[in-house]
Amino acid sequence: MKIRMRSIYLIIGVISVIIILSIIFTQFQPRETILHKSPQLNLPKDVKLRIGKGSVADIEYSPDGTILAVATSVGIWLYDASTYEFRSLLTGDNYGILSISFSPDGKTLAGGGADKTVYLWDVQTSKRKQSFIGHQGGVFNVIFSSDGNTLASASRYDTSLWDVRTGTHKEKHRGYTNHTNKLWLNGDETMLASADNKNVRLSDLITREVKMDLEGHTKNVKSVAFSPNGKTLASGSWDTTIRLWNLPNGVHKKTLKGHKKSINSMTFSADGQMLASASRDDTVRMWDVTTGRLKRTFKGHTADVQHVALSPDGKTLASWSYDHILNLWDVETGKHKKSITGHFAAISYLSLSTDGTTFAIGASKEVQLWDAIKGVHKKTLFGHKGAVECIAFNPNGSTLASGGVDETVRIWDSATGKRKNIIKGHTTPRDTYSTIRSVAFSPNGQILASASNDSTVRLWNAANGRHMKTLSGHTGAVRTIAFSPDGRTIASGSGSKENTIRLWDVETGKQRKTITGHKSGISSIVYSPDGKILAAGDSESIQLWDADTGENIKKLNGQNKLINSLSFSPDGQMLASGNWDTTIRIWDVATGDLKKILTGHLHWVNSVSFSTDGKTLISTGLDGLVLLWDITAITDDIEDGK
């Protein structure tokens, strides 16, 4: 009997432990995330893989609440609002979409393009219906009238009313607006609300007659929003407050306080009773419009929250942040429901491991590691207090260094993602933008070099982070550095105050040579694989220099914008440049001829890197995309004269 009772007690004990462990596991398991693989739709020519869906510019639910539309630098991604599964991608002719608006019946979606075009799509079929051309700049705001027959659109330079049925202009007015504006249509009544420093300016959308200036904020206004019925205007400011104004008389109703930093965007609920606000303090807050009371704070983002949207039934809140996550929240409970990842903000830098299997990107405050073959995310490294500006792998790929605006260099174990060291020492004057601009490992992996806006290059022991030498001589910010293949020399390029390249003896720390000839600051330098050529880019040209004598070999003509990044092919025959004009250019090193212009990025190209086998070129941009280019196809085109 005793043995039987002991067995029963043992079974009960085991069951209790299982239940407790289950509760603990449920309580502390990571939040549910849908890591969407970026559908390989509408890929640019010669691109074999795209990672990322583009930086988010606007979010909106369809009127019936079944679709969540996300406007990005790639196009408009449509998700099922119940399952959050991808439905389709809508694209314009060039660049990305800056603003979106559903027609009242939900059958048509309008998109304001960065290419100055307004697009209309059939939501059911995802086919483009028509395009409106005529704006002088990117279209930052679009909105349908209540009957759906008129569409209003605004760029920085002009505003327009379009007849949706005929596709013709109804009204057009030229004149400056700004990115912080909102439109409102109700029959024949049209309003434009724009930030005017500390005030909000209300004017007629078409005549541009100023109706009134709403005063009260103590710092510049950053965001504005109309209630659905147009009777209330909300304005968010750098002073961390939100002000509610009665329209059309402009009387101040309430001031909402609670955010700790500036208000990036706001949206009213469909009934106008609630207001959601997104802030640089990493939170979204929900307010009762009638009482002005804070109803709920949504916490979970780790960076500035840029955009917010409410479902028509008011039950779900969508928010996107510079942490690259689109979060879905339960409005009633404040609990996190789902996450959609892949919508990156700007990607500042890319580094490819020597074996070509892994690349690292700097995305806001994060460093992300990706499989370079499959395009699969591996790890995210957290720790920087500001944007990551530069990244470098050591020669065997076991260690990664990253530098950022927090003036630190962080050393990571590439396999585990654990931080090994934090290097501090660079100091920047208060009146200067502080940041580590470039990091590089020596070919033997024993030395780590860092360049900063403090005009110095510093050498560190890569194993323990101890300071070895400071290379002083530049009179301006040092933007870029590179070790020679033999590790004996390090080249550094300065900013616009001196426009020089300096060559340093790594062992002694003494300057060997100063190369002059660039007309603007050096933005990128790289040695050829054999170490004989040093390529340097500035704001308008690429020049090739003899790495030993410092004599100019040739100037590569055909550039008119800043060159952000340079990379030699493994055989040294080609040079790729990533540029501010959104293009990547392929050059013949021997002749200096421009062989091919690659178009696919939608904003500045920040980084380019050839794979070690020379078959792939990887690029990143301010558009939040990583593109993998097929070099074989590109060289075939070059040989065919295309």
Look up residue 172 and give its two tokens.
């057009």
pLDDT tens figures, 232-276: 999 999 999 999 999 989 999 999 999 999 999 999 999 999 999
DSSP for residue 32: P
* CA atoms of 615 and 636, how far apart (whole Å): 12
pLDDT value at residue 244:
97
CB atoms within 10 A of CB 29: 8
More confident residue, 557 or 273: 273
Q: When comparing pLDDT for 202 and 245, which is higher?
A: 245
pTM attached to this predicted model: 0.82
Mean pLDDT of the chain: 88
Distance CA(327)–CA(70), nearest Å, equals 12
pLDDT exceeds 60 at position 544:
yes
Share of the chain above pLDDT 90, in %: 63
pLDDT value of residue 539? 86
User: What is residue 269's predicted lDDT score, i.e. its pLDDT?
Assistant: 96
Gap between the Cα atoms of 164 and 283, Å rounded: 38
Question: For residue 289, which of 277, 275, 303, 276 has the smallest C-alpha distance?
Answer: 275
Q: Are 426 and 456 in contact (CB under 8 A)?
A: yes
The pLDDT value recorded for residue 505 is: 97
pLDDT digits (tens, 9 = 90+) for 492-522: 999 877 899 999 999 999 999 999 999 899 9
* Mean pLDDT, range 431-442, rounded to an integer: 83
The dihedral through the CA atoms of 111, 117, 122, 125 has a sign that is: negative
Locus of tokens 């005009």: 455
Please tell me the distance from the alpha carbon of residue 140 to that of residue 153, in angstroms, as a whole number: 8
The count of other CB atoms within 10 Å of the CB of residue 551 is 10
Measured between alpha carbons, how far is 584 from 572 in angstroms, rounded to an integer?
A: 17
* Residue 128 bridge partners (DSSP): 121
- How much is the pLDDT for 602? 83
Instruction: State pLDDT tens for residues 567-576.
Output: 999 999 999 9
Q: In the structure encoding, which two tokens stand for residue 318, read together?
A: 């969508």
Per-residue pLDDT, 39 = 66
> 27 — phi, psi (to 5°)?
-70, -35
User: How sure is the predictor about 433, in pLDDT bands with cuts at 50, 70 and 90?
Assistant: low
pLDDT of res. 159: 85
